[in-house]
Structure formats: structure tokens, C-alpha cells
């Protein structure tokens, strides 16, 4: 196994450092990919896993002005190493979040909801009544897309893999505000036409699967529509018929939250605007944490194994 639970000394607090007591941190697919070495970010070893989570500030260095003890913080960038009980981090590696939102919402805020927010905002200017289609709709990003779209009056067509407990999953996504939940097989069926009697064809498709699922989804996109790929869970390429390019002029784009953060490192306004918008949705009950299973850090092995099983509809969250 690549993992060990280790006791380390907490380093000395520098002038610009913040001593953080971690509260909760999820296990995301990208965390596993980083550990396997199949992700473009590599931490020098030995490293602490985890790119997301929430902590409470215990003390701050004498130059730190934006944070004080008792504040809640989340990572400003990937690679922080959140699977730990305590850490000392430079101030610029942390973002303050309100402590009046549920701890699981804060712990799962910096990756999936931010990704969902950006892919909905940055590629097509969507208006109320427009629609989007997405695969892996039960993923963390998928659940956030459903809720953020719903709050903006945008309709969602949500594609999931067929599974034994399908009716239960459909019910859960509908409860989050999904307009339609369909299986990959249904994408090929004539019944799809019935959906487009009541809502317009999507201008935006969101893909984190690849392979056949993506090609089928693309078929339903409006002319000049955009498909954004932000993941590739099937580990298969995106195949596009030539006709989709020539006769419908579809656009294919990519999105990586880590890159967006790098590009906007100097633009604190856009980061703050996004965080404020997301926290407002959370406070209004319009954006909830994904379905979570809370696991004490001692049981991290079981949590890692559970997070790699197929058809998992619950995110493993380490309680620190």
C-alpha cells in the first residue's frame, strides 16, 4: 500500500503562516490519480494526500492580516495535502470561508462546486429556460451542476450509467432539481425527441466520461453548441463524427479547475465572486454537500477502498 498514517511534528509558525486544525477532507478521484502518478500535478514525496477540505485557524503569524483564530479556511490551490489533523501553511495558500455553512459543504467546496460554477458560466452565456446535458450526473460536479443550474433557471438533462438501484438514484437527482435523468442507453432512443418537445436542445454539454457516452451526448447538442470535457472516467478518447463539426459547427473545449486558479491567481475579485455566489446558494439551501459517508481518519484504508469502487454514489469524507 502507498499509504501510512504518520505522526509528524507541527512545524514552527512563520510570520506569514497560519496554523490550521483540519476538520474534514473528502477523497476525490483526482486525489487517487495524483497518488497513482497519473495526474499532471505531482507532489514531492513523502507527501500528504488530499486536495480539498476545511479547517479552523488556531493561530496566525504576526504578518497575517486576512485571517484570525476561529476562521474557517479551505485550500486556495490543489496540492495542499488536506488528509492531516493539523498543518502550518503560508497565508496565500488558504481562502477564508464563512463558518456558518455546514462543515461538509465547506469541506467539499473548493473543487466540485467551483468546477460546476465555472463550466456553467464560462463557455456559453446561458439564460433561464436554456438547457445543458451532462454525463456522470451523480458525480460531485454533476450534483453541483444540477443545483446551480436549477437556481439560475437552467434545465438539466442528466445522463447516468444503468445500475441495480437506478430508481433510487433517479429519485435523488430529481430531488436535487434535475429536470431529466436518463441512462446512456436512452441517449440513442427515439424517446429523446419527447424531451425536446418541452425544453430546447442543449447549448452546452458537460463531459467527464469520454468514449461512447460522449459521442451520443454530442448528437443532441444545438448547432454551434459547446461540449466541455473536464474529466475522463472511461479512460477512452472523445470521438466526434465529422458531420458534427461540418454541419453543426460544434465546439469542443476543455476545463481544469487547477489551471483556472493559476490563471486567476492575481484576480482575487473573480475568485471571491465565485466563492460568495456559492456560499449564498449554500445558505439558501440551494446547494448541498454531495451524499457523504463520514469516516474517522483511523479508518482511512476502508475509505480509500470504498472511494475506488464502481457505482459509488456517496463521497468518502475523512473526519479529522
- β-strand pairing of 204-207 with 226-229: parallel
Q: Which residues contact 98 (CB under 8 A, 6 or more apart)?
A: 72, 279, 283
Would the CA dihedral through 8, 11, 17, 19 be positive or negative?
A: positive
Distance CA 139, CA 50 (A): 18
* 42 grid coordinates: 505531482
| Nearest alpha carbon to residue 319 among 52, 76, 85 | 85
Distances (CA, A) of 203 to 58, 268, 275: 46, 29, 25
Q: Which of 39, 180, 230, 300 is catalytic?
A: 39
Report which DSSP code applies to 242. H
Q: How many residues does the chain have?
A: 320
CB count within 10 Å of CB 241 equals 13
- Where does residue 67 fall: left (phi above 0), alpha (psi -120 to 50 degrees), or beta otherwise? beta
39: annotated active-site residue: yes
Chain center to CA of 172 = 18
Asked whether the beta carbons of 134 and 145 are under 8 A apart, the reply is yes
Asked whether the beta carbons of 59 and 96 are under 8 A apart, the reply is no
* Residues annotated as catalytic (active site), given as ranges: 39
Amino acid at each position: 500500500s502507498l499509504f501510512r498514517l504518520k505522526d509528524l511534528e507541527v512545524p514552527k509558525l512563520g510570520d506569514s503562516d497560519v496554523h490550521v486544525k483540519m476538520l474534514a477532507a473528502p477523497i476525490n478521484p483526482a486525489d487517487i490519480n495524483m497518488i497513482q502518478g497519473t495526474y499532471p500535478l505531482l507532489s514531492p514525496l513523502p507527501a500528504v494526500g488530499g486536495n480539498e477540505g476545511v479547517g479552523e485557524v488556531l493561530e496566525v503569524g504576526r504578518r497575517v492580516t486576512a485571517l484570525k483564530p476561529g476562521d474557517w479556511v479551505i485550500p486556495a490551490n490543489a496540492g495542499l495535502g488536506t488528509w492531516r489533523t493539523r498543518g502550518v501553511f503560508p497565508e496565500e495558500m488558504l481562502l477564508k470561508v464563512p463558518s456558518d455553512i455546514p462543515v461538509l459543504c465547506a469541506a467539499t467546496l473548493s473543487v466540485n462546486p467551483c468546477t460546476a460554477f465555472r463550466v456553467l458560466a464560462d463557455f456559453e452565456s446561458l439564460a433561464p429556460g436554456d438547457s445543458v446535458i451532462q454525463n456522470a450526473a451523480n458525480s460531485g460536479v454533476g450534483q453541483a451542476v444540477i443545483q446551480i443550474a436549477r437556481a439560475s433557471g437552467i434545465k438539466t438533462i442528466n445522463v447516468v450509467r444503468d445500475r441495480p438501484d437506478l430508481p433510487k438514484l433517479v429519485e435523488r437527482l430529481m430531488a436535487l432539481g434535475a429536470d431529466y435523468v436518463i441512462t446512456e442507453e436512452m441517449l440513442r432512443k427515439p424517446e429523446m425527441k419527447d424531451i425536446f418537445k418541452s425544453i430546447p436542445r442543449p447549448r452546452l454539454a458537460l463531459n467527464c466520461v469520454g468514449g461512447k457516452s460522449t459521442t451520443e451526448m454530442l448528437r443532441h447538442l444545438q448547432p454551434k453548441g459547446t461540449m466541455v470535457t473536464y474529466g475522463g472516467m472511461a479512460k477512452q478518447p472523445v470521438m466526434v463524427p465529422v458531420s458534427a463539426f461540418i454541419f453543426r459547427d460544434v465546439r469542443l473545449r476543455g476545463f481544469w479547475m487547477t489551471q483556472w486558479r493559476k490563471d486567476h491567481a492575481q484576480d482575487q475579485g473573480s475568485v471571491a465572486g465565485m466563492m460568495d455566489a456559492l456560499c449564498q446558494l449554500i445558505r439558501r439551501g440551494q446547494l448541498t454537500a454531495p451524499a457523504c459517508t463520514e469516516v474517522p481518519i483511523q479508518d482511512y484504508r476502508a475509505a480509500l477502498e470504498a472511494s475506488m469502487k464502481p457505482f459509488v454514489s456517496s463521497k468518502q469524507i475523512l473526519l479529522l
